Structure 1
């Protein structure tokens, strides 16, 4: 009897204990549900949101990406895409870190836009969308977090260029940001918890006491542990988290039937000495430099690779990350794109300042090369000629702003060690004083300091029409502004009309017209592109575009005139006469 009473007592105690434990959890779940139903914090839990005034398009939600950093929000390229994808749309998503975002330039000078320009130029029967999700200081955890949302957006292709930030990016193995006991499982759990209204509110409350040091660069702020020796436990954790996260990501996309292109990583080898203090790394770099000077290019490159891999400040990914990437070709649907080998060949086995602007970010030439390589791979080596490519140029304003950003970085850790924030700013001020006399430099400086934003500055510069700017400079500014406003048909039309006045601008005006045509499907852009292709003697291309306009507007005056011109060139003078007569009749009717 007493045993039965004792047993019942223990059972009741256990039940009460379970209730006591469960009740707070149940209350939290109920409270979370109430917040969700009430829409509290809902804006931060959608990866993509409609554009204001253009709800038929979606873009990356800046409130969502705030979850990856406690004290700042990484900028996301503005590359909107249709909410409801149709059968005629070819959609490409591009994911990665700051090199994917185009740093230190604006996003439209990065390789995703260079890829998009090529695809737009040759895709006549499909609407091209290239959605750039590159963000500074993010790594494979961010891509893992976004994997399902990207798959649900129904891309035909996903391009991946990632791996440099596995140590110092958000959730990185040696980062100050979201470093959760260096456990892949725990870090993924935190990412899941960040979808909770209650958890996010508590996190924001706690993070208020850890505001960012705005006087230091992001590179200086994110390093929790330097001196990561090759093959150490921490070194291997960075490699393993990349392998696990990206394997899951790629399998998720492959299972959804998405074609995936993963690029091997590139970095400045010959013109970037080791950032850390590892003596062996410095000796390897000095030896490779001597070999390069003697013309022993293959051995020199091998030495530069060793120096990078031994560099114990891990902003540049070691060779082991590329080894992991090359292993992904075993996954069905994944194509590994060997950027590293092509860069080495392009630079004579000495990748340096000819292709890079700092330790790992390509310059505008390097970004254009990456865009070209991915473009060729998407066409399986049979890509048609890209009509609007030449030596790629960026606008003067962004060129100055990018140079200033690099100058600021190179006055700080890890390029300069032991300097105070005041000493860093003094060195940066000295650089600014030397360049302030350059045209548009004050505007660029305001952008870098955060006192102005690029799209507004572009608009104001175009409107002020500085007399010292050449017509080419003005057109490049127009092209940049058009990337900020890709759905603004009047702006795009103005840019195209300026460009059409001079055939020497055809390569740039062709890019603007093709972008507008793919974004807006408007007749004016199609007509303009047809006229440009006529001047470039691309007659089949011009004919296809004119067919499209004629199907939409049979009496379009511009189309009729250009059709007559095309028929004359093709030797069909009878048909040319008929179209010219129709042109004259339509012109008279419009007067």
Structure 2
């Protein structure tokens, strides 16, 4: 009798899990559909503008942007910064594009915690007599061409003091870019990026607008690259990770990203962290997907020159903050989106550079000048809901959308990471309740 009852209970539990996954997938699908429809309606207006004007007030108009409004004409004592880029610059997942009702209803988040949030805090500390406004002009899923068009609008407005550009994780192959091979595609995208960087520098010069372009940091140690080969073979290679340096090197194929990633894991286990980072970087540069910035593209940013254009090498700066010099889940939530700590570090380094270049004074700047604690204590429950929603999203993705064994590994690790963040916040809430007032 026990076995049939146990089997029935298992079937019921499995059915409930499938229904829950389907419900979550339906909610996420509704959000994406609403966003898609909003963007179609915006395009149908024919303007294609990032910003709209209503009298003396300007507003973000593109549904891929964060909803914001600000005076079209900058007040005399205002210092205005525009942050341009895609979701990494926007501050995803803490900051989301909320020009659609479904996303706003589902996430119910404070829409703070990205680069713009912390940069405003640091600059206000350095310029107490000014009113600092940091406008988050990033667009979710946009590439560098989109950022150039946003830059054009900012220059034409004549109301910016500084522009920051953090862009590069959405550079994809297009019809005019073909091989031979993966390297041919990478080189073709690099040439397109070079042109867009030059366009950006010319726009900055035409508007006499100081513009800082950041090299793009990525998750190296906690994001496995996509590779070619039969599913069973790839699964077997992942399972054999950690066999030792001699075994891994002896079977490494020079152009296979997964082999390089596994070699990085092996060097990491041997505590040779410089060798591990080199292998992880090579794995990223050979990745068959195009979700992370290639080293050669970051080099194009480093080579950018212009009278008003400056480069902040954020990729290398974050090497200095990352555990063992290898960025992973200590700074990133997935392949490119930064944690709260990661966003704050980027803003801190940008603020230090602006302080030096613009001679802002204000004395030495400390990381704690934009403290995390008030943000965390004020938004613990909302953040925890976000982390739990993201955990569910990655679990559903693993069940329904994992096309390769690499997807299954990455999606599972992201679900576990968000679960750890949620547990951490739950403990903080519990401690806060127990603490004497």
Question: TM over 0.5, yes or no?
Answer: yes
The answer on 1:150 being equivalent to 2:154 is yes
Any conservation in 2 of the 1:116–1:129 contact (CA below 8 Å)? yes
Paired residues in the alignment total 331
1:282 maps to which of 252, 258, 264:
258
Q: Secondary structure at the match of 2:56?
A: strand
Q: Which runs of 5+ in 2 are unaligned?
A: 1-43, 96-110, 230-252
Match of 2:86 in 1: 97
The answer on 1:306 being equivalent to 2:282 is yes
Match of 1:350 in 2: 326
Alignment of 1:59-458 (within 5 A): 59-61=59-61, 65=62, 73-74=63-64, 76-106=65-95, 107-153=111-157, 154-167=159-172, 173-174=173-174, 181-182=175-176, 229-232=181-184, 234-277=185-228, 280-328=256-304, 330-347=305-322, 348-380=324-356, 384=363, 385=365, 388-391=369-372, 393-394=375-376, 395-396=379-380, 397-405=382-390, 407-409=392-394, 411-412=396-397, 416-417=402-403
Q: Secondary structure at the match of 1:59?
A: strand
Q: Secondary structure at the match of 2:397?
A: coil
Q: How far did residue 263 of structure 1 move?
A: 0.6
Any conservation in 2 of the 1:230–1:309 contact (CA below 8 Å)? no
Any conservation in 2 of the 1:104–1:402 contact (CA below 8 Å)? no
RMSD: 3.7
Measure the CA separation in 1 of the matches of 2:117 and 2:57.
18
Measure the CA separation in 1 of the matches of 2:56 and 2:139.
24
1:177-227 CA distances to partner (integer Å, 9 max, x unpaired)? Answer: xxxx338xxxxxxxxxxxxxxxxxxxxxxxxxxxxxxxxxxxxxxxxx9x9
Measure the CA separation in 2 of the matches of 1:42 and 1:368.
37
Any conservation in 2 of the 1:375–1:383 contact (CA below 8 Å)? no
Measure the CA separation in 2 of the matches of 1:409 and 1:254.
43
Measure the CA separation in 2 of the matches of 1:472 and 1:342.
39
Q: How far did residue 299 of structure 1 move?
A: 1.2
Any conservation in 2 of the 1:228–1:314 contact (CA below 8 Å)? no
Q: How far did residue 145 of structure 1 move?
A: 2.1
Any conservation in 2 of the 1:228–1:235 contact (CA below 8 Å)? no
1:357-398 CA distances to partner (integer Å, 9 max, x unpaired)? Answer: 111111111111111111111112766335643345542213
Deviates more, 1:77-86 or 1:245-254: 77-86
**Larger RCO (CA within 8 A; separation ≥ 6):** 2
1:380-434 CA distances to partner (integer Å, 9 max, x unpaired)? Answer: 2766335643345542213431452355246438982169xxx9xxx9xx99xx9
Any conservation in 1 of the 2:213–2:301 contact (CA below 8 Å)? yes
Q: Secondary structure at the match of 1:160?
A: strand
Measure the CA separation in 1 of the matches of 2:317 and 2:51.
34
Measure the CA separation in 1 of the matches of 2:424 and 2:268.
38
Q: How far did residue 269 of structure 1 move?
A: 0.4
Match of 1:478 in 2: none
Distance 1:237 1:411, change over 3 A: farther
Distance 1:150 1:302, change over 3 A: same
Any conservation in 1 of the 2:121–2:370 contact (CA below 8 Å)? no
Match of 1:49 in 2: 52
Distance 1:228 1:131, change over 3 A: farther
Q: How far did residue 356 of structure 1 move?
A: 0.6
Match of 1:496 in 2: none
Instruction: State TM-score, norm by structure 2.
Output: 0.67
Instruction: State TM-score, norm by structure 1.
Output: 0.50
Match of 1:197 in 2: none
Q: Which runs of 5+ in 1 are unaligned?
A: 1-40, 66-72, 168-172, 175-180, 184-224, 442-466, 474-501, 503-591
1:34-53 CA distances to partner (integer Å, 9 max, x unpaired)? Answer: xxxxxxx76845432246xx
Q: Secondary structure at the match of 1:336?
A: strand
Rg bigger for which structure?
Answer: 1
Q: Secondary structure at the match of 2:84?
A: strand
Measure the CA separation in 1 of the matches of 2:434 and 2:50.
38
Q: How far did residue 138 of structure 1 move?
A: 0.4
Q: How far did residue 150 of structure 1 move?
A: 0.8
Measure the CA separation in 1 of the matches of 2:220 and 2:267.
13
